[in-house]
Chains A and B, each alone.
Chain A
């Protein structure tokens, strides 16, 4: 597990990687190079990075449709992620998953579901697998404010608590389910307050502060590894962009004010972390710029790799349908 400067610079690098990756995705959608659905994570980077840098490589995560940030935070390869977005055979899912389902099982990513709250019960099952095989792995399940209202979310939390399973339910409260404010759909003041109903700690954390998310996750992970059971973390954050790329073409009325967006952008997670690194004399401006340049190069390389990669072959329509191939029907 990295510590000190190594940890802080890793967090900076991964947040920058996600930002640059998703900015590139935006231009690819605008130029129609990327034609499928794409949900960017810009503005929320501190949540996934703070949480995943508190995990071991063999710990599990599950995610949702906004799935670029989670694998990159866990140490995924941006080349294979970009290739997946372009539907190439070299992608994480051999081109079968796309933007909403970027998963690298080799680093503990159990997949992202585009059905909201669908992955929470799966995360509970992985935690059961961990407990019964005594392998000490914990699971972080990322979900949003919208998914927090799903029945599966509550079933998963109750089950994890009665079985005292090593799960961290991490709610990325970016405040809008597409265009509907959580204030209009969540009965309690804070989503973290719902933890009371499941007899687990509920912790509200500043989702723009990578160290705050990191420290809250470290505590939850410790509790989980010690057999204390699950924790509900609510990271209050903000989605700078619309729910999905291209949505602005059909949205007629603004659903949030420009002032609100601007106010949240002032607390940008990369800016805040960079300022903290300088203030604490962990890194110089030059070192931060070097990371930025390095990241820019890495994303350019990833795009080049993705563009040069082949598409799957027609017969791949049927590969991986079952673990043993069956005749096509």
Chain B
């Protein structure tokens, strides 16, 4: 297969940064709040010093100033809640929840306010709030800075949840999230921030539609469902399966809430086998949810039971060899796929 030369390569971090920058230029009601997102204290000569530990907001304070790029106290309940109130009163805030494991200290603001206000008050007010948060293991950050947890948020009606898988979807989903009139949580996997991708990221602003998945690779023998980082794992596994004579289709889920049920069912009706690869804990996970969907709605098409690949039901360990065992990888996915192909 001849791959077209990528026209414009950006890193995942640059893609998110460009999305925020372009939306801030387009719409002056877009603001960003979070811990250390500007950084550098109040020193004017340090305007571009930091941009948060993931550098997603680097340089924005220099262009947009400290009114629109707001460093907050370490008060997640305070500033996530303020994001809800700002959204209800005419702004279009982006709130940075540095690591998803911090959600515990502000869960009430997300689940009781952001998710419910539009419905509970009869649709009188929209909450155009974007929460971006870092997820994922594999960086030696131990149990409290490595979780994925997106399943928890999909449990709540009223929230939209998206998981980009590369710089192209990172930019397009971030722009779509900011423009959306409902609360959207964008889960950015930290391992994706350190990978070079050979994908074209157009310079102009564009949206990747929330609620739609993407067939990242077509195939006929088995469907591999990937979410964020695990889409890359699935693509690597598909290449190895191809070498062994099996044609795997990779469905990049991208959106968890709403979820593209139709695309999953359509793919499994073609391949008759499905492996769902999910970096979140196995119990009550997206993988479990998709297994149930397929079992309920495509049972007659299946040649094998749906197969879930999740980490073990244990916190993320710090030690490198243990952490490597924890995260789903190419080998575990190939093994699972061969299991359903037999």
Contact = CB atoms under 8 A, between A and B. Distances in A.
Interface in A305-329: 319-324, 326-327, 329
A99 to B, nearest CB: 12
B118 A151 contact: no
Interface in A117-163: 118-130, 132-133, 137, 151-152, 155-156, 158-159, 162-163
Contact of B158 (A129, A162, A321): A321
B326 interface: no
Interface in B95-130: 105, 108-109, 112-113, 117-126
B214 interface: no
A105 interface: yes
Contacts of B181: 323-324
Given A132-B31, A159-B75, A322-B160, A124 B120 contact: no
A137 B84 CA distance: 17
B129 to A, nearest CB: 9
A41 interface: no
B299 to A, nearest CB: 18
A129 B81 contact: no
Interface stretch (B55-63, B86-94, B133-141): B86-94
Given A125-B83, A125-B89, A323 B117 contact: no
A97 B122 contact: yes
A321 B157 contact: yes
B52 interface: no
A90 to B, nearest CB: 10
Interface stretch (A107-115, A223-231, A247-255, A274-282): A107-115
B245 to A, nearest CB: 37
B282 interface: no
Contact of B119 (A96, A152, A163): A96
B241 interface: no
A124 B85 contact: yes
B78 interface: yes
A210 interface: no
A152 B78 contact: yes
A122 B123 contact: no
B40 interface: no
Contacts of B88: 110-111, 122, 125-126, 129
Contact of B121 (A111, A130, A155): A111
Nearest to A102: B121
A151 B109 CA distance: 12
B77 interface: yes
A103 B90 contact: no
A121 B182 contact: no
A327 B122 CA distance: 18
Contact of B85 (A94, A110, A162, A326): A110
A59 to B, nearest CB: 11
Contacts of A156: 78, 81-82
Contacts of A103: 121, 124
A320 B119 contact: yes
Contacts of B80: 121
Contacts of A101: 120-121
A122 B82 contact: yes
Contacts of B312: none
Contacts of A158: 73, 75, 78
Contacts of B70: 163
B72 to A, nearest CB: 7
A93 interface: yes
A122 B79 contact: no
A92 interface: yes
Contacts of B258: 326-327, 329
A87 to B, nearest CB: 12
A139 to B, nearest CB: 8
A156 B258 CA distance: 32
Nearest to A93: B122
Contacts of B82: 121-122, 124-125, 128, 156, 159
A321 B126 CA distance: 10
B120 A93 contact: yes
Interface in A209-228: none
Nearest to A139: B85
B78 A124 contact: yes
Contacts of A111: 88, 117, 120-121, 125
Contacts of B118: 320-323
Given A121-B79, A129-B91, A158-B78, A94 B122 contact: yes
B281 to A, nearest CB: 22
Contacts of B85: 62, 110, 121-129
B304 to A, nearest CB: 25
B84 A121 contact: yes
Contacts of A91: 122
* Chain A CB within 10 A, most for which of B77, B82, B113: B82
Contacts of A169: none
Interface string B263-303: 00000000000000000000000000000000000000000
Interface centre among B75, B91, B105, B182 (most CB of A within 10 A): B75
| The 8 A-B residue pairs with the shortest CB-CB distance in the complex, in nearest-first order | A121-B81, A125-B85, A155-B78, A129-B89, A320-B123, A125-B82, A93-B122, A122-B85
Given A120-B81, A121-B77, A124-B81, 8 more contacts: A91-B122, A119-B113, A121-B80, A125-B82, A125-B93, A158-B75, A322-B118, A323-B126
27 contacts: A93-B122, A95-B122, A96-B119, A96-B120, A104-B124, A105-B125, A106-B124, A110-B85, A111-B120, A111-B121, A113-B112, A113-B113, A121-B81, A122-B113, A125-B87, A126-B89, A128-B89, A133-B91, A137-B89, A151-B105, A152-B77, A155-B73, A155-B78, A156-B78, A320-B118, A321-B158, A326-B258
Interface of B: 29, 31, 67-68, 70, 72-73, 75, 77-91, 93, 105, 108-109, 112-113, 117-126, 157-158, 160, 181-182, 211, 258, 261
